[in-house]
Chain A
Amino acid sequence: MSEAVQRADRYLRKNAAKSEERRKSHAQRGRRGKAASWLFLLPSLFGVGLFFVAPFCVVIRYSLVNNPVQGRFVGIGNYIRVLGNGAFLLAAKNTLLFSAIAVPLAVALSLWLAVIMESRIPFRSQFRSFFLTPMMVPVASVILIWQVLFDYNGLVNVWLTKIGIDKIDWLKSPYAPLVVVLLFLWKNLGYNMILFMAGLSAVPRDQIEVARLESASERQIFWLIKIRYLSSTIAFVTIMSLINSFKVFREVYLLTGDYPFDSLYLLQHFMNNTFQSLDYQKLSAAAVIMAVVMVVIIGLLLKAESKLSRDL
Chain B
Amino acid sequence: MESKPAVKRREKALAVSRTVRKTPSANRRKKERRESRIIARRTAAAVFFAFLFLTPVVLTITNSFMTPSEINANYGAIFAKNDTGGKVYVSETVNLKFIPDMVTFSQYASVLFKSPAYLIKFWNSVIYVVPIVVFQLLVAALAAYGFARYSGRVKEFIFFAYIILMLMPYQVTLVPNFLVSSFLGILDTRWAIWLPGIFSPFAVYMLTRYMQRIPYSIYEAASIDGAGEWQIFSQICLPLCRGGFASIAILLFIDYWNMVEQPLILLSNEEMHPLSVFLSRINAGEISLAFAVAVVYMILPILLFIYGEESLVEGIMYQGGIKE
Contact = CB atoms under 8 A, between A and B. Distances in A.
A and B co-occur in one complex: yes
Interface of A: 1, 4-5, 7-8, 11-12, 15-16, 18-19, 22-23, 26, 29-30, 33-34, 36-45, 47-48, 50-52, 54-56, 58-59, 112-113, 115-117, 119-122, 127-148, 151, 153-155, 158, 186, 189-191, 194-195, 198-199, 202, 206, 210, 213-215, 218, 233, 236-237, 239-240, 243, 246-247, 249-250, 253-255, 257, 267-268, 271-272, 275, 283-284, 286-287, 290-291, 294-295, 298
Interface stretch (B99-107, B112-120, B177-185): B177-185
A140 B280 contact: yes
A27 B96 CA distance: 72
A59 B176 contact: yes
Interface in B38-58: 38-39, 42-43, 45-46, 49-50, 52-57
Contacts of A54: 176, 180
Contacts of A267: 171
Contacts of A136: 254, 298, 301-302, 304-305, 312
Interface residues of B, number: 119
B145 A40 contact: yes
A36 B96 contact: no
Contacts of A133: 53-54, 57, 302, 305
B168 A140 contact: no
Given A131-B50, A290-B171, A194 B317 contact: yes
B109 interface: no
Contacts of A295: 164
Interface in B168-217: 168-180, 183, 195-196, 198-199, 201, 204
Contacts, number: 330
Contacts of A113: 46, 49
B223, B225, B291, B312: which has the most chain A beta carbons within 10 Å? B225
A256 B93 CA distance: 22
Nearest to B80: A153
Given A44-B142, A250-B260, A298 B164 contact: yes
B317 A195 contact: yes
Contact of B143 (A7, A43, A194, A236): A43
A246 B298 contact: no
Contacts of A41: 142-143, 146-147, 155, 158
B54 A271 contact: no
Nearest to B173: A52
A294 B171 CA distance: 11
Contacts of A286: 171
Contacts of B254: 135-136, 138
Contacts of A44: 139-140, 142-143, 146, 199, 201, 204
B321 interface: yes
B316 A141 contact: no
B143 A40 contact: yes
A268 B264 CA distance: 11
A12 to B, nearest CB: 5
Nearest to B242: A4
Contacts of B179: 55, 58-59
